[in-house]
């Protein structure tokens, strides 16, 4: 397997090795220049590349190609065209031109645009992103050549997730290179954001999944009583992997490896039926594309194993939800990680400058990071009853916190705490040097050795926005720093003062304690850190003057694009909750209430039958149960009617913003009010009468 694996890896990707093999040297060199230095692509080069790509794809069985893009829905979209082209003799040849490679024109009118494009102006273009390699995808439709593309409107506004990410990568590149020049690193031509997103997911049995409309329509359970066993035993986390899940993971890895995705780590997560997959990090843009492929493959492979993969942030109430840890760092084209402190961070001034830039950026733009991680599902995690908290703070760990404290206090850092030797107390287990800093699992933004880990991102979401924000806000602070340092009379002194000043002004964002504790909420309020509890409350951050200024300055988003994104987010929230409410209504009406009514008849029949058989027998159990169930049934019916009314009212409101605010403030409580009695009924009513699989069935029986 291992030998085969090296051959298998990337076998479905038109990667560098394939390009070297198949492109004329000159063409390859020209394309490389575009990929690496962002130079304009000559149409002749595109023509040759397209032809080579087509030949390669056809040899591998492809009949179609598609521009693969990432509209603001957060998932991917594609439109397939075949390679066939008719000839005058009534036959066909297989063709693929440079023009077709570079530009596509899907009908853009059905994708969210947030008012950027009226439906009568349906034109939208997809444009080849040559920095992310094309790949082949095989499914029931056959083999398709997929070309990663950006998606924009007729007037050039971004309609997707990739375009702003690419723009933000240019911004951070420009600014970081400026800083590095000041430190004398003239050989560095490029700095890229590196990203490693860890993906959490749930697996449930497909047949059971298909019995639950809520899972089918909304991706999460809208009803469900807790089983006798939840996650309290902590016996699932890192537990041995069940056979069925193991065979799923094996196939998933193979599919991903073929696509050049470096699937590396897999393990069981905290909740029963929850798992995680982490790839090895890559350039932000590629990591983002790969994360989309990971999510697609997870679903596709699950199907083949009669499983359903749930990517929702909170598929089960009361059970740990899923997130995506976005590991982020900056690396140079000379192979240096700019966030690597080395063994003695106090001496590493360049590192301290980048570190203080990140701290300042996160402190100034916590609201932007918050919205970059917001979706309807994540409302059940961030700021609700589980972690990470909605308040953004940065965990640095003991070693760095100590260095910073020295700098702030005395203006100088003279020592770095080291990890020391770890001994387990058993002779035969070798001792080793431990890390200078322990981990902190509760921080939303943690420094983990040589990268930051942004842990708020939603599991089902694209990681593009989170990284677009991170790149932009850090680029902005770096640009200010460069402005100041470039004109300094004495670089060393100015640098020293700048680090000290930045750390002093923004140290409030650093928090190394327990982020789940109630005391932290109070402390954060004292520090003036925002606590934005929901998606609806987070959206306006996108259109503040501050946001328009920072995104505008670095050409990542225009004001119009930001307004359109806010609009799309409001709309997506309203739509999501509307679907949830309607699904609840239909499940209550068509499934739960009829089942409970049937059960009350069974109880009543039993009471009558028992009484008829022997008048002096005690039927108080049946009677008590019947009363209790009937009361809950009435409560459910009232809540159902209320939910119907409130949902109708929400839909009658004028703007998507009003709608989504009302869905949050009024519809979600009405949903909870319906769920309450139904979940209470689930534990009272006989199991065989209950119309859908329970939490226990879903979580423990695969």
- Considering the rule CB under 6 A, would residue 325 count as an interface residue with ligand ADP? yes
Residues 311 to 350: which contact Mg ion by CB under 5 A? 325
Q: What are phi and psi of 200, to 5 degrees?
A: -95, 150
Cis, bond preceding 224 (omega within 30 deg of 0): no
Near Mg ion in 544-603, by CB under 5 A: none
**Least distance from Mg ion to the Cβ atom of residue 450, Å:** 14
Q: How far is the CB of 282 from ligand ADP (least distance, A)?
A: 8
Q: How far is CA 370 from CA 159, 165, 180, 455, 463, in A?
A: 21, 17, 29, 11, 13
Q: Binding mask 236-265 vs ligand ADP (x if CB under 6 A, - otherwise)? A: -----------------------------x
Give the helix/strand (H/E) hosting 103.
strand 103-104
Between CA 350 and CA 499 the distance in angstroms is 10
User: Binds 393, which of Mg ion, ligand ADP, none (CB < 5 to 8 A, cut-off by type)?
Assistant: none
CA dist., res. 337 & res. 281, Å (int): 12
Pick the closer one to Mg ion by CB: 100 or 198: 198
Burial of 296 per CB tally in 10 Å (0-12, 13-18, 19+): middle
Classify residue 90 as left (phi > 0), alpha (psi -120 to 50) or beta.
left
Verify binding: residue 397, ligand ADP, rule CB under 6 A: no
Q: Could you say which of ligand ADP, Mg ion, none residue 67 binds, taking C-beta under 5 to 8 angstroms by partner kind?
A: none
Beta carbon of residue 207, minimum distance to ligand ADP (angstroms, whole number): 31
C-alpha 612/C-alpha 606 separation (Å) is 10
For 34, the token pair is 């575009």
* DSSP output for 265-300: EEEE-SSTTEEEEEEPPEEHHHHHHHHHHHHHHHHH
Per-residue mark of binding to Mg ion, 395-414 (x: CB under 5 A): --------------------
Residue 176 contacts which entry, Mg ion, ligand ADP, none (Cβ below 5-8 A, type-dependent) = none
Between residue 181 and residue 220, which ones bind Mg ion under the rule CB under 5 A?
198
Residue 530 CB-density burial (10 A; 0-12 exposed, 13-18 middle, 19+ buried) = middle
Q: Min. distance of Cβ 437 from Mg ion in angstroms? A: 15
Binding mask 105-124 toward ligand ADP (x if CB under 6 A, else -) reads: --------------------
User: Binders of Mg ion: how many residues, by CB under 5 A?
Assistant: 2
x/- letters, 432..451, toward ligand ADP (CB under 6 A) = ------------------xx
Min dist CB 175 to ligand ADP, Å, is 18
Which residues are CB-neighbours of 421 under 8 A, at least 6 positions away?
431, 432, 433, 434
Inter-helix orientation angle 243-258/284-304, to 10°: 140
User: Of the candidates 62, 130, 158, 195, which one interacts with ligand ADP according to CB under 6 A?
Assistant: 195
Closest to ligand ADP by CB, 323 or 693 = 323
Residue 279: CB minimum distance to ligand ADP, A: 6
User: Can residue 334 be called a binding residue for ligand ADP (CB under 6 A)?
Assistant: no
What, of Mg ion, ligand ADP, none, does residue 637 touch, CB below 5 to 8 Å by kind? none
Q: Which residues contact 112 (CB under 8 A, 6 or more apart)?
A: 71, 72, 73, 159, 568, 571, 572
- What is the contact surface with ligand ADP in residues (CB under 6 A)? 194-196, 198, 265, 278-281, 325, 327-329, 337, 450-451, 453
């Amino acid at each position: 397997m291992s030998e085969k694996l090296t051959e298998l890896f990337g076998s479905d990707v038109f990667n560098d090795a394939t390009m070297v093999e198949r492109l004329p040297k000159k063409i390859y060199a020209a394309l490389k220049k575009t990929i690496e230095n962002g130079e304009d692509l000559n149409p002749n080069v595109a023509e040759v590349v397209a032809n080579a790509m087509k030949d390669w794809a056809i040899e591998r069985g492809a009949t179609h190609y598609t521009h693969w893009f990432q509209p603001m829905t957060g998932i991917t979209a594609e439109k397939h065209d075949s390679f066939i082209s008719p000839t005058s003799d009534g036959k066909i040849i297989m063709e693929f031109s440079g023009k077709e490679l570079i530009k596509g024109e899907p009908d853009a009118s059905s994708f969210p645009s947030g008012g950027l494009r009226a439906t009568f102006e349906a034109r939208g273009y997809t444009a080849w992103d040559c920095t992310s390699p094309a790949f082949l995808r095989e499914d029931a439709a056959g083999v398709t050549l997929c070309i990663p593309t950006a998606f924009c409107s007729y007037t050039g506004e971004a309609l997707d997730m990739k375009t702003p990410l690419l723009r933000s990568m240019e911004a951070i590149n420009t600014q970081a290179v400026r800083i590095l020049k000041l430190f004398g690193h003239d050989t560095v031509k490029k700095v890229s954001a590196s990203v490693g997103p860890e993906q959490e997911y749930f697996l449930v049995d497909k047949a059971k999944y298909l019995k639950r409309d809520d899972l089918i329509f909304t991706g999460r359970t809208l009803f469900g009583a807790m089983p006798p066993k939840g996650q309290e035993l902590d016996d699932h986390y890192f537990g041995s992997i069940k056979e069925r899940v193991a065979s799923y993971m094996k196939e998933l890895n193979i599919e991903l490896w073929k696509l050049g995705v470096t699937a590396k780590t897999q393990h069981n997560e905290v909740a029963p039926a929850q798992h995680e997959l982490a790839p090895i990090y890559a350039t932000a843009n590629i990591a983002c594309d790969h994360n989309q492929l990971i999510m697609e493959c997870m679903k596709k492979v699950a199907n083949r194993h009669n499983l359903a993969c749930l990517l929702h942030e909170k598929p089960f109430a009361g059970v740990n939800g899923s997130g995506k840890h976005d590991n982020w760092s900056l690396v140079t084209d000379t192979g240096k990680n700019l966030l690597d402190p080395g063994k003695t961070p106090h001496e590493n001034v360049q590192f301290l400058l980048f570190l203080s830039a990140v701290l300042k950026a996160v402190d100034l733009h916590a609201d932007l990071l918050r919205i970059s991680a917001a979706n309807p599902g994540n409302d059940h995690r961030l700021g609700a009853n589980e972690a990470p908290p909605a308040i953004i703070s940065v965990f640095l760990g003991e070693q760095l916190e100590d260095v910073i404290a020295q700098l702030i206090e005395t203006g100088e850092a003279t020592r770095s705490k080291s990890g020391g030797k770890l001994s387990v107390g058993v002779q035969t287990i070798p001792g080793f040097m431990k890390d200078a800093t322990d981990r902190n699992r509760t921080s939303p933004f943690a420094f983990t050795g040589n990268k930051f880990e942004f842990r708020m991102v939603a599991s089902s979401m694209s990681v593009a926005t989170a990284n677009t924000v991170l790149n932009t806000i850090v680029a902005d602070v770096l640009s200010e720093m460069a402005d100041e340092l470039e004109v300094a009379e004495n670089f060393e002194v100015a640098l020293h003062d700048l680090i000290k000043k930045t750390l002093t002004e923004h140290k409030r964002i650093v928090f190394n304690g327990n982020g789940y504790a109630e005391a932290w909420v109070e402390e954060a309020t004292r520090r003036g850190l925002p606590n934005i509890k929901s998606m609806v409350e987070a959206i306006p951050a996108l259109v503040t003057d501050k946001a328009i200024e920072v995104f505008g300055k670095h050409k990542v988003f225009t004001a119009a694009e930001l307004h359109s994104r806010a609009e799309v987010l409001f709309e997506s929230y309203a739509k999501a909750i509307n679907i949830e409410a309607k699904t609840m209504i239909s499940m209550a009406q068509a499934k739960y209430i009829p089942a409970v009514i049937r059960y009350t008849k069974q109880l009543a029949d039993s009471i009558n039958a028992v009484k008829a058989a022997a008048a002096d027998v005690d039927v108080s159990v049946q009677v008590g149960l019947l009363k209790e169930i009937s009361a809950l049934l009435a409560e459910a019916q009232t809540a159902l009617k209320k939910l119907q009314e409130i949902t109708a009212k929400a839909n009658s409101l004028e703007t998507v913003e009003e709608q989504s605010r009302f869905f949050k403030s009024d519809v979600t409580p009405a949903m909870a009010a319906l769920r309450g009695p139904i979940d209470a009924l689930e534990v009272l009513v006989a199991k065989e009468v209950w119309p859908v699989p329970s939490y226990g069935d879903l979580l423990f029986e695969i």
